[in-house]
Each structure stands twice: as structure tokens, then as C-alpha cells.
Structure 1
Amino acid sequence: MLVISPLRGGPTAVVFSLALVVAVVASWLVVAPAGAAPLGTTPIGSITGRVTAQTADGSMVPSSAGRLTAVSPGTTPDEVPVPSLERRPDGTFTFTGVTPGRWYVTLEAPYPGPYRYGSPRFWVDVPADGSAASVGDLPLILSQLLSGQVSAVVDGRTVPLPYARVTIWWKNPTTGGYKDEGSESTASEDGRWEFPLLRPGTYRLSFGDGSSQSSRVHDDLYWPAGRRFADAEDIVIGPGQKITGLDVVLTERTFTTTRVAGDDRFGTGAAVLSSPWGFPSTNGATPRVPVLYVANGLNFPDALSAGPAAAHEGGALAMTDRDALPAATVAVIERLAPERIVVVGGPAAVSAQVYEQLASWQPAITRLGGADRYETSRLVARHSFLGSSTGERIYLATGEAFPDALAAGPAAHRDDAPVVLVRGAQSAADAPTRALMVELGKARAILVGGTASISRAYEASLVEQEPFLVTERRAGVDRYETAAALVGGDSETIFVASGRGFADALVAGAVAAREGASLVLSERDCVPPATERAVLDARVFEVVLVGGPAVLGAANEVPLAVCGR
């Protein structure tokens, strides 16, 4: 029964209300065309497809295995009913009761089973007229398996290695390169491991000790027995293939030591430049040396900034006396024939006579000399890095002592950064250093050394003056730990120099930087624990001792004699 309540608003309101009622009643009397879905309902369609399974020969055959699901994204079962599924022995299937729109079908492989486990999505659009849509063939791919056991030599005996680390690389058949699958398997307590869900293809494996002391106890290994990735052998696995028995034995950590030394500091510098890590001549051919930096070898400040600059430009660093070029340095310069020479330091560090002798060999020569070591350091950084450095970092080290800046050189080179000497004991950073950081576009300052080298007040002043600057400190309790804190990169070589004197190490720092290697410091008669840890953790194969036995004794050769043990 229709009830009409009294309305306010007079006759006009009554007339409007009656017209509305008539319109509503008329709408109830409209007759739907023959064959159309009832008003208020959605045409119902279907999704068809077929499941196929891979066989051992790689072919695909119809299959009724796996679990099928059809999902309408962004909806709930209350909004869109779950479709009905019919499966047939020939692998075909049909979802019915499917509303028009975007759907995806998932095929979940049975687990456990022979196929790769997962639920890949296959997208399909169901037409608005409710007709059928085909998702095509949905494949079940055979799973491949690699497995084995990791053992290790412990106290001379070979025993299973619990919780060993196993990493797998897949070879891209198009590029030929290897990609870390992001798959790392941890062996069980008896050292057993497996990768059960692989695609067919070519792989390489690496193994490591998963304990906290891993790199200090055992060498990593690439299947079957290589120490380098290039020494690894490919493992090719076909559809459904299971390769077991990939057993390896990790051996105790080993590396070799090589000594590079001359008769004196200049001779050692020349020997470093002629070594395999410097600029050796091969079959009588001298490598191209785009630039040679020359600094005073009897004092350290100028060379500390010159080394990273030389490495940044792909060049070398050579040492000189103030008033005369040593014979060893002359021989190096004549052999290398650099395309440019940069003299670091004013006439008080490298005399006009030495400068003129260098200019007679190479007219393309420049002198970078400031009023003191700090201004010279800034000049070197600006000359070498302005406009050619893409890194965001700048390394700041005290100019009062050599160890921190010396070890910082290779680390700075990895970050494409200069090393700038500062008066770190002051309570605030000086304006020229701050201006240089802005000019070079450096947003992160790496402070090398503890607060005795660069004070907290100095660090705080950097941030106060440059609000967008981020500071980071690399330091230890002493020079040996600070050098160890700067170790990084993936070079197979590490350089060791005396922590008591700079004479032999200045040229080595530049060579190590160019090589991508790190430089750590040691004592003459024993190896500091921090240095030993750095060498072992770096997983290097070769340790280069820079200097003769008078500065780095036999304790630095294998086996290392650690201080206090």
C-alpha cells in the first residue's frame, strides 16, 4: 500500500510528489527484451585453459596435476562469487560463473613432487558480454636438484662442517654472464646441503664457513676446488635431473707473502713502481703513465694527498730529496716517461733545481705548493678532483702524523674521493676546508682517526656550518685498528707497511689505491691483532710487504707471528 504523508510547502510540493510516484510506478512496468539477462544482474562468463607438464626430454604433455585457482584482484568472495572449476583427464579445465573483468589464474605445483614449486599468475580478461576467455597452456616445470656435503680440515682431520654457506650462480644463456641467484643454502649440522627448485641451465657454486670466524679459519672454495670464481667449473643440469654428491672440503686459511724493497726509501719506492702492482715493463714495453706526481720523500705531508690524486688520475707517485733527484727515482722517471708531471710542495719541499731537471724531461709540468701542508693538500685535491670526481665523499685526516692519512688513501680511491689534511685538534673546521668541500660538491665527510686526531668539536663544527653535510668516522683505538677499519674492496692483494715510519709506504699507498687494494700497518717484530684480523677478513691471496726486514721482520711473513701470542 502506498502511503502519502502530508507535505509542507503547499500545492507545488504536492504536484511534484505525485509526479515522482507516477514515474516510479511506470518504471516497474517496463518489460525487458527477450533473451537479455535480468535487470540488476551481470552476464556470467568462463575461463578455459590447459595444464601441461614437462617430461625428462623437455617436451610438454597434458596433465591433471597441480592446484588451480581463479582470482578477481581487489574483490572479496562476497562481492564476486568464487567460480566453479571443472578439470578433465586431457589437462583442459573450465572456470564457470566468472564475472567480466580482469582475472588471474594460478597453478600451484604439488608439493612434494617433481615440479618446481610456486604459484605463478596467468592473467586473462573476461569479455563484458560474458563469453569464454582462454588463458592458454599453464606449464608445470620439472624441478632440478643439486646437493652435496661440505667438510673442512680441522686440526689436521677432515670432518663435516656444520652450517656451511653455499651460494649458487646461474649463467645467463644470452649474455654468458653469471648472476647471483640470491639463493644461499645453509648446510645442516652434518654439512649436507641442497638446492631443490632450480630451473634447467648452467650453474656455479661457492662454499664458505658459516661461523663467525669463517674467513679467519677456512678459505672459501668454488666448485670443485678453485679459490677464485674464474677457477670454478660449470655444472649443467637438464629437465628433471638431480645431481648429487657435490662434496667439497674447505682447507685451512692460506695466503702468500711477497716482499718489495730497495736499498733505501727511494729505492723501495722505485721497486714498488716496477713491481707487478705498479707500472712494470712487459717485453720491453712501458705502460702508459698519464701523470707522475713528485713529492718530498723525507717528509710525509705532501705525499699523503698526492698519492690518492695520482691514483685518481691513473698515474704514479715518486719520491725525491729536496735538492736532488735520487738515482733510483731518475731511473723510474726515465723508464715511465710520464705525459705530465705534478710537483707537490713549494721550493722548500722540492727545490727549483729539481723542478728544472724534471721540466727538462717533461715540459708539461705543474707545481702545487701552498703556504703550509694544509693549503698544499687543498690545492692537490682541487687540481685533481674538481670536475672529475663523481663520489660524494671527502676524507679528512690529521696533518700532524702520517698513519691515518696513509691508510686512508686506498679507501678514498675506492670512493673516488680526495684525502685532505686538516688541523683536527682545533675546535672548529677552518673556512678554506669548508669552502673546498662545497666547491667539490662533497656531501659526506669521512673523518679518519679517533678524537685525538680529529676532535668532536671539529666534527660538530662541520655540521653546524654545512647543515646538509653528513659525517662518518673511521677509527680504532690506535693506528693499527684505524688502518684495519679502512680495509675494503674485493682485491686479492693487501699491502702491509710499517706503522712506525712513513719512508717506505708513501709510494705503496698510491699503488695500492690504483690496484684497488687496501693498506694496513704492522710492527717490525710482530703483527698487531687488528692487522691480522684485517688480512684474514679481507680474504686475500697475497700479502705484499713494503720494505726490508729492518722495518718489517720475518714475523710478517707466513705464518704470521701475532703480537701478544
Structure 2
Amino acid sequence: MQHHRGRTRIVGALSVVVATLAATLVPTVAANAITGADFDPGHIISDLQFYDNAAMSEAEIQSFLEARVAPTGCVTSNCLAAFKMDTFTRAADRNICTEYTGGSQESAARIIYKVQRACGISARVLLVTLQKEQSLLTATAPTSWQMTASMGYGCPDTAPCDAQFYGFYNQVYKAAWQFKRYSTPDPWGTYQPGNRYIQYNPNPDCGGSWVNIRNNATAALYNYTPYQPNAASLANLYGSGGSCGAHGNRNFWTYYHGWFGDPEYGGLPGVTVTRFDVANRYESSTRISQEAFPSAPVPVVYLATGHNYPDALTAGAAAARQGGPLLLIDGASIRPVVDAELKRLRPQRIVVVGGPESVPESVVQALSAYSPSVTRVGGADRYEVSRSLALTMNPQGPVNEVFVATGSNYPDALGAGMAAGYRKVPIVLVPGTDTALDAATADFIRRLAPQKITIVGGPVSVSPGVEAQLKTFAATTRVNGANRYEVSTNLARNLYATQRPTTVYLATGLTYPDALAGSVLAARKSAALLVSHPYCIHPSTLSAITDFKVNSVTLLGGPVSLAANVKYMVRCW
């Protein structure tokens, strides 16, 4: 059987790949400079990164392609940032790829994205392969041949390319299909994990060495391009390795390193990382609801606007206290995904959070189709809304504890909401920059008569004057940090000081919806919810995950909310 693999970049065919390599590396995360000594022939890329079917969104792929040809831009329509073509539907192929639904004039970004989803091969891997095979990402005017054999699929080293696999769509799909096939339960290919002899060059006289291939992804790369770089290739990382050099897998590793960070990152030992892969905040809230409440009916559903945070900030704690999810609505409409989830949940009652400006009366009226009881919790401002929600949690009072956070911004309040939901106590928003509490808030906290008050955030968020006044009501402590990520982790450490969480949920710290809905899930699962840097793992977040010794981490949101490097546990700095 013929092995359909990419052409190996030997010295005589090195072409523009090596010549342009050093000039086109554009790191996306902070990384140390690499040398040939960093290349590990037995573990070129982790399985987690290689088989990530949500590594990049279509928009991210398009932006990435455009950045590669900047500043001049595309010269011809073959340039991948501008390329489009009709594609045809491919049926699901056993346990390798799911169905690819064809379309008219699909962009290169869309084709790459859809193949990523169908075959479970990271778009990053496909992009790097396009570059290492035909320099297509940096070519502003690719030739017809570059497009014809764009992935080098069906182009063995010892024979002409197979014409049946010509064309960009064919090439991208079949290469991904082949990468995936190498790791199916019925493994195929010369190289599998374990000790294997791998040559340095198609010429056997150039020699080779035994390599302990440690994962399926690295085995797939060797099946596709069956040579390892020799010492000369690694010593001259962006140049030729001499007459016995073969540069395909070295170039794959070098491009990946420069564009996306270390390909060997594979999460933390013993920790499984998964993602709620959703398109937007509304899908996210329903996916979180399904995870938290797999059975119906539920006693209550809280609904809040997905357009702004003030009214919704304290709703998560109230929903967790009363045993129901928090769903987000899109302005004056109920999206189909939310409609379907409400029908599934069959709530005994629905609580709408916020006034008519947040959730129109027409939506409140429409909600009667889902539940016999629909009420609105509103107020003149976010502070009154938070007090009203606190009363729905503990209408009789007093309470053991109250969490206090500023209402001027959302990061601290998100953490407070998670903590309050976990402990099933109220969260009260305050105008934290004021020197003292307003009369309504002060009277309300006296009415709650808490034994303990926890301020979330530093003195810039909640002033020392407010803190001093709170101390006259109850024993008061403050959970602080240098930034929102440290505040989040310090709060989680405070909650789990005497026990370990079952898992860790991560939500972006730059927007509020995922963390807001996720606070109910975390409370229900006795899990820690941490807000994360959207592009990498903040050191404090990584430290907390490690110290908690959990065996699972779940990302709330797609790659637009939390980039692939968060899934791979790539440290920010």
C-alpha cells in the first residue's frame, strides 16, 4: 500500500521554506528563544494540541492568514487570505472524520476550520503543514502547483504526486483524514508509539537512529514525513543540514513554536482538560445549564440580559441558592437555544432579573409559556437589584455571611458571585469608591445581621472607609490580589482551605457571561471557578490548579473566549 505523505524537505528541494522561515516567525505568546537542542524527536507535539478540534475559530484562522501576508497583502486570488472555492459534501468516514458539508465559494479559513471540526485535527497543525510543505501562508501569489499539492498529500518521495488528490480542499481534507487515521483504534502506518528506527534522509546511507516515539501525534508526523532532522539540521535550525539533511519535521516544529508557542505543551500531568465548545454566551449559558441540571423539572430558572452585566452580577448566587440555572436572554428575544433549554427544564417558576430596560415586558409575558409563575426582580439601579436578589435568597434573615463587591466593574463581583453561590449566601454590590455606604445599603446589611462579611477586591475597588463601616456590622475580612486573576484564585483558596474542589472551571476574565452562568455550575458541583487570562494561563491560576490536585479542568466557552493555549496550560509569563 502506498503511503500518502508529504514531500520531505531535503537539501536539494529546500526551496523557499527555510529561506523565509526565520523572517516569518511571529510569536503569539511569550516564549524563550529555541535552539536545535530543544527539539525532541520522540515528542514533537502533544496529543492534546494535535487532536484539538476547537484550536481556532474560523475568524481566528482568517485573521492569522491575513497577518502572514501583511503588510503587502494578497497579490492573486490563490493567496490563502483571499482564496475561495466550491467544496463538495463528504460523508462521515468510519471513526476517522465526521461529515463535511460542502458549500459555495468557501474561504481557505472556512475549509480549514470545517476540516478541523470534522476530522479532529487542529487548525494550527493544518496551517503549519501548509507552510512547511508549500510555503502557502506567506505566499502572496502562490503558483498553481503550490495550490494543487498544498499539503503534499499523495506525494511520496519516490514517485510523482497522485493526481486524484489534487486541489486545496482535497489536500487539506485528505491530509487531516490521514493524520487522524494513524491514531484510530485499528492503527495504520509504519510508525507507532514505541522504539522505532527513523532515518535522517530518504538515502539510507545517511543513517538514522532509534527514537522512542512517545505519543500518537508524533507517530502521525513520522508517518506523514518519515525522517528526523540530523545533527547538522538542528545545529543550523533555519538553514540546511547538508546533503543528508531532511527538514520537514524540524520545520513543522519550528514554525509551530514561532507562531503558537511550544507544541509539546500537553496540559498538566494527570489532569484532563475539556471545553464547553460553544459559539456565544447564550449557547454557553444553556450548555452550563445542561451540565448542572441534567434532569427536569427544576424548581426555578433565573433569566438575565446577556448585553450588560450590572443587573445580572448577583443573580448567579441567587440561582445557586434556590437550585436552578441562570440563562441569558438576547435583548427583546429568546434565542432558539434558550427556548429549547427552557422547554427541557420545565421550571416551576421563572425569575427575571432587571427592569424593563434590561429585559422588556414583552419577554416577561412570553415566558408564561414555559412556567406558571414568572416574576421580575428589579430596582432603580444595580445596587437595589442586588439587595432585592439577596432577599429572594434569604427572605427571613439573618444570614451567616454576606459577600460584598463593587458594582462599578464585574471581575471582583464574578468571584464574589461564585463564592456566594457555593456557600449559598447573598452578595451585595456597593459603590465601592465612596468613602462610606449609602443609607439603603447600610440599613439592608443591618437587617441581614450577618455573622461574617467578606469583601472581594482591593481598596481601589472597595474603599477603606466602606470597609471600616462594614466592620461595625460584623467580623469583616478582605480577599485581595494584584489583579483579577489573583483575586479569583485567592478567593478559591479561601473557599477550599479545608477541602479540595472536585474540578476546576475556567472562564475568561475579560467578559462576564460565562463566569456568571458558570457560578451556578461550580456551586452545584463543589468545584472551583477561576477567571482566566483569555490567551494563556496566569501563573496564579496555574498554581491554584496544581495545588488543588484536581484531575479535571473544564473551559467554559469556545476559543474566542479562551484560546487554545489556555487549554494547553501555557503559562503567560
> Normalising by structure 2, what TM-score?
0.51
Please tell me the residue identity of whatever aligns with 1:480: Y
CA deviation profile, 1:320-354 (whole Å, cap 9, x unmatched): 02211111111110110101111110101000010
| Partner secondary structure for residue 520 of structure 1 | strand
Correspondence for 1:513 among 503, 523, 532 = 523
Please tell me the residue identity of whatever aligns with 2:525: E
Correspondence for 2:330 among 321, 336, 359 = 321
Contact 2:393 2:425 in 1 (8 A): no
Contact 2:515 2:531 in 1 (8 A): no
Following superposition, the deviation at residue 441 of structure 1 comes to 2.3
Is it true that 1:481 corresponds to 2:457 in the alignment?
A: no
C-alpha spacing 1:536/1:391, structure 2 compared with 1 (3 Å) = farther
Please tell me the residue identity of whatever aligns with 2:379: G
Following superposition, the deviation at residue 360 of structure 1 comes to 2.8
CA deviation profile, 1:159-211 (whole Å, cap 9, x unmatched): xxxxxxxxxxxxxxxxxxxxxxxxxxxxxxxxxxxxxxxxxxxxxxxxxxxxx
Q: Residue 263 of structure 1 corresponds to which residue in structure 2?
A: 279
Relative CO higher for 1 or 2, CA cutoff 8 Å, sep ≥ 6? 2
Q: Structure 2 CA distance, aligned partners of 1:502 and 1:375?
A: 20
Q: Structure 2 CA distance, aligned partners of 1:384 and 1:494?
A: 25
Correspondence for 1:303 among 300, 312, 316 = 312
Contact 1:448 1:482 in 2 (8 A): yes
CA deviation profile, 1:134-179 (whole Å, cap 9, x unmatched): xxxxxxxxxxxxxxxxxxxxxxxxxxxxxxxxxxxxxxxxxxxxxx
Correspondence for 1:541 among 517, 538, 551 = 551
Contact 2:347 2:370 in 1 (8 A): no
Is it true that 1:444 corresponds to 2:452 in the alignment?
A: yes
Q: Residue 368 of structure 1 corresponds to which residue in structure 2?
A: 377
Q: Residue 38 of structure 1 corresponds to which residue in structure 2?
A: none
CA deviation profile, 1:31-59 (whole Å, cap 9, x unmatched): xxxxxxxxxxxxxxxxxxxxxxxxxxxxx
Please tell me the residue identity of whatever aligns with 1:264: N
Q: Structure 2 CA distance, aligned partners of 1:455 and 1:508?
A: 28
Q: Residue 236 of structure 1 corresponds to which residue in structure 2?
A: none
**Pairs within 5 Å for 1:156-555:** 253-275=269-291, 278-280=292-294, 286-387=295-396, 391-463=399-471, 467-487=472-492, 488-489=495-496, 490-555=500-565
Following superposition, the deviation at residue 504 of structure 1 comes to 2.5
| Partner secondary structure for residue 504 of structure 1 | helix
Contact 2:446 2:473 in 1 (8 A): no
Following superposition, the deviation at residue 438 of structure 1 comes to 2.1
Contact 2:398 2:448 in 1 (8 A): no
CA deviation profile, 1:295-315 (whole Å, cap 9, x unmatched): 111111222211000100111
Following superposition, the deviation at residue 253 of structure 1 comes to 4.6
Following superposition, the deviation at residue 533 of structure 1 comes to 1.1
Q: Structure 1 CA distance, aligned partners of 2:544 and 2:530?
A: 8
Following superposition, the deviation at residue 468 of structure 1 comes to 4.7
Q: Residue 161 of structure 2 corresponds to which residue in structure 1?
A: none
C-alpha spacing 1:462/1:390, structure 2 compared with 1 (3 Å) = closer
Q: Structure 2 CA distance, aligned partners of 1:380 and 1:468?
A: 20
Q: Structure 2 CA distance, aligned partners of 1:496 and 1:391?
A: 29
Following superposition, the deviation at residue 415 of structure 1 comes to 2.9
Identity over aligned pairs, percent: 39
| Partner secondary structure for residue 312 of structure 2 | helix
Bigger Cα Rg: 1
Following superposition, the deviation at residue 272 of structure 1 comes to 1.4
Contact 1:404 1:482 in 2 (8 A): yes
Q: Structure 1 CA distance, aligned partners of 2:301 and 2:517?
A: 11
Contact 2:353 2:378 in 1 (8 A): yes
Contact 2:419 2:491 in 1 (8 A): yes
Q: Residue 137 of structure 1 corresponds to which residue in structure 2?
A: none
Contact 1:322 1:348 in 2 (8 A): no
Following superposition, the deviation at residue 391 of structure 1 comes to 4.7
Please tell me the residue identity of whatever aligns with 2:281: R
Q: Structure 1 CA distance, aligned partners of 2:389 and 2:510?
A: 26
C-alpha spacing 1:304/1:514, structure 2 compared with 1 (3 Å) = farther
**Pairs within 5 Å for 1:88-107:** none
Unaligned runs of 5+ in 2: 1-267
**Pairs within 5 Å for 1:77-156:** none
Following superposition, the deviation at residue 530 of structure 1 comes to 0.8
> Normalising by structure 1, what TM-score?
0.52
Contact 1:370 1:376 in 2 (8 A): yes
| Partner secondary structure for residue 534 of structure 2 | coil
C-alpha spacing 1:262/1:478, structure 2 compared with 1 (3 Å) = same
CA deviation profile, 1:390-420 (whole Å, cap 9, x unmatched): 7521001111111111122222233331111
Please tell me the residue identity of whatever aligns with 1:298: H
Contact 2:320 2:421 in 1 (8 A): yes
C-alpha spacing 1:254/1:390, structure 2 compared with 1 (3 Å) = farther
| Partner secondary structure for residue 351 of structure 2 | strand
Following superposition, the deviation at residue 427 of structure 1 comes to 0.3
Following superposition, the deviation at residue 361 of structure 1 comes to 2.3
Q: Structure 1 CA distance, aligned partners of 2:473 and 2:519?
A: 31
| Partner secondary structure for residue 302 of structure 1 | coil
Contact 2:415 2:456 in 1 (8 A): no
Q: Structure 2 CA distance, aligned partners of 1:391 and 1:530?
A: 31
CA deviation profile, 1:51-104 (whole Å, cap 9, x unmatched): xxxxxxxxxxxxxxxxxxxxxxxxxxxxxxxxxxxxxxxxxxxxxxxxxxxxxx
Following superposition, the deviation at residue 513 of structure 1 comes to 1.8
Q: Structure 2 CA distance, aligned partners of 1:328 and 1:533?
A: 36
| Partner secondary structure for residue 350 of structure 1 | coil
Instruction: Pick the structure with more strand per residue.
Output: 1
Q: Structure 2 CA distance, aligned partners of 1:340 and 1:273?
A: 16
Q: Residue 44 of structure 1 corresponds to which residue in structure 2?
A: none
